[in-house]
């Protein structure tokens, strides 16, 4: 029986759909033992050498060349999510290992969270809630989203979904991306501008870019200095997009007003100084954590594995289809 090793914390934990599909097709589904977490390269080498999986369903753990070398029976890596910055795609391809992700499954969930965080910052909801629970009755002054200029950095699926939501509030939209989304310009009135102009003019900057060598730490001290003193930064994409030390310094000194962070460069962020600040709203990477998103993502992961390994198909979410031709 072929094994599917689940490294992702969430696959099969919230809904059983994907796990059931795989088991019904004859796969053995086993999870990484909780006592072996957090996962690093050395632990993964030990685990894949021991289990010899045909498939790994991965979350954020490093699927690097040493791990792939140790996985002698590996035929496929399935990302339970969208970003594949944790997977050495070149190494996988050279070894004939198919790699796929789950685009679109969590788009609405992440977009909902991003807008929720924006509203929470603008209306100071968390502070008001804490004050009221402690017996206070302070009337926290806030801002209306419709009066804001919102800059969206990255206008792919999730960025576009955020734009549509924010536009419904009446906000002005600025965008920055290497590829312009023409329907977004037409339907939402989004204007593409250079990055420095977006940072200079936006009241709220929300990040939705993938993590690549070009985008790593794209928001650092020079970019933060460009932002308005009363501006807000929201990151539901990847922690590594932001220089967290620079962000801490700018927030602590009041050079920008606040930030909402769902992702950190190191997770869990046990030593992050951002968590010391009252003007930081922090959540534990819950962008995709809705019942609906998990159902869609688990199902897509399982169906993709079955398409590739059982049915000989080449699904559109396969990232290196050339390996199937071999």
The answer to whether residues 14 and 291 touch, using CB atoms and an 8 Å cutoff, is yes
Other C-beta atoms closer than 10 Å to the C-beta of 28 total 14
Task: Check whether residue 142 and residue 94 sit in a common domain.
Answer: no
Q: Are 233 and 259 in contact (CB under 8 A)?
A: yes
Q: Is there a single domain that holds both residue 219 and residue 144?
A: yes
90 & 114 share domain: no
- The number of folded domains in the chain is 2
What number of other Cβ atoms are within 10 A of residue 141's Cβ? 7
> 90 with 142, same domain?
no
**Same structural domain for residues 258 and 135?**
yes
Which of 116, 120, 124 lies closest to 140 in space, CA to CA?
124
What digits encode the pLDDT tens for the residues 305-323? 999 999 999 999 999 999 9
Same domain, 275 and 306: no
Nearest CA to 23 out of 314, 294, 311, 306 is that of: 306
The model's pTM is 0.91
Q: Identify whether residues 91 and 147 lie together within a single domain.
A: no
Rounded Cα distance, 153 and 176, in Å: 5
| Among candidate residues 289, 264, 287, the one with its CA nearest the CA of residue 274 | 264
179 and 316 housed in the same domain: no
Query: 170 and 275, same structural domain?
Result: yes
262 in Cβ contact with 287 (< 8 Å): yes
- The helix-helix angle for 107-123 and 125-133 (nearest 10°) equals 60
The rounded distance, in Å, linking the Cα atoms of 321 and 323 is 5
Note the pLDDT of residue 326: 67
Instruction: Give helix 17-24 / helix 291-309 axis angle, nearest 10°.
Output: 20
Do residues 137 and 153 share a domain? yes
CA distances, 18 to each of 11, 57, 129, 284, 314 (Å): 8, 11, 38, 24, 19
Same-domain pairing of 92 and 149: no
Q: Other CB atoms closer than 10 Å to residue 266's CB: what's the count?
A: 12
| pLDDT tens track for 90-138 | 999 999 999 999 999 999 999 999 999 999 999 999 999 999 999 999 9
Radius of gyration of the chain (CA): 21
Q: Tens of pLDDT along 289-302?
A: 999 999 999 999 99
**Residue 303 belongs to what H/E stretch?**
helix 291-309
Query: pLDDT band for position 324 (50/70/90)?
Result: confident
Output the domain CATH number for residue 23.
3.40.50.720
Residues 230 and 168 both lie in one domain: yes
Instruction: Provide the percentage of residues in the chain whose pLDDT is more than 70.
Output: 100
Q: Is the Cβ–Cβ distance between 101 and 84 less than 8 Å? A: yes
Beta bridge partners of 312: none
Containing structural domain, residue 240: 107-282
pLDDT tops 80 at residue 38: yes
| Residues with catalytic function | 238, 267, 285
Inter-helix orientation angle 107-123/157-168, to 10°: 40
Please count the residues of the chain.
Answer: 326
């Amino acid at each position: 029986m072929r094994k599917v090793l689940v490294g992702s914390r969430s696959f099969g934990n919230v809904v059983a759909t994907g796990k059931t599909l795989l088991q019904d097709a004859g796969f053995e589904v086993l999870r990484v033992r909780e006592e072996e977490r957090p996962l690093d390269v050395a632990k993964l080498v030990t685990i894949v050498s021991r289990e010899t999986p045909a498939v790994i369903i991965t979350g954020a753990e490093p699927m690097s060349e040493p791990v792939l070398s140790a996985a002698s029976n590996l035929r496929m890596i399935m990302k339970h999510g969208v970003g594949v910055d944790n997977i050495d795609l070149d190494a996988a391809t050279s070894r004939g290992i198919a790699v796929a992700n789950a685009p679109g499954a969590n788009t609405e969930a992440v977009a909902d969270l991003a807008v929720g965080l924006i509203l929470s910052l603008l209306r100071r909801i968390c502070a008001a809630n804490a004050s009221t629970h402690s017996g206070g009755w302070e009337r926290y002054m806030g801002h209306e989203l419709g009066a804001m200029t919102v800059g969206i950095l990255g206008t792919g699926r999730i960025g576009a979904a955020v734009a549509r939501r924010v536009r419904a509030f009446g906000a002005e939209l600025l965008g920055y991306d290497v590829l312009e989304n023409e329907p977004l310009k037409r339907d939402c009135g989004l204007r593409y501008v250079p990055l420095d102009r977006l940072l200079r003019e936006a009241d709220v900057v929300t990040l939705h870019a993938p993590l690549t060598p070009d985008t790593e730490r794209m928001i650092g001290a020079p970019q933060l200095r460009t932002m308005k003193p009363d501006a807000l930064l929201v990151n539901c994409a990847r922690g590594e997009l932001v220089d967290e030390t620079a962000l801490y310094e700018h927030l602590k000194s009041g050079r920008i007003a606040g930030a909402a962070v769902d992702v950190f460069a190191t997770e869990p962020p046990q030593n992050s100084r951002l968590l010391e600040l009252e003007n930081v709203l922090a959540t534990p990477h819950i962008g995709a954590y809705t019942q609906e998103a998990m159902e869609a993502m688990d199902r897509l992961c399982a169906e993709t594995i079955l398409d590739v390994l059982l049915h000989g198909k080449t699904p559109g979410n396969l990232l290196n289809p050339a390996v199937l031709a071999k």
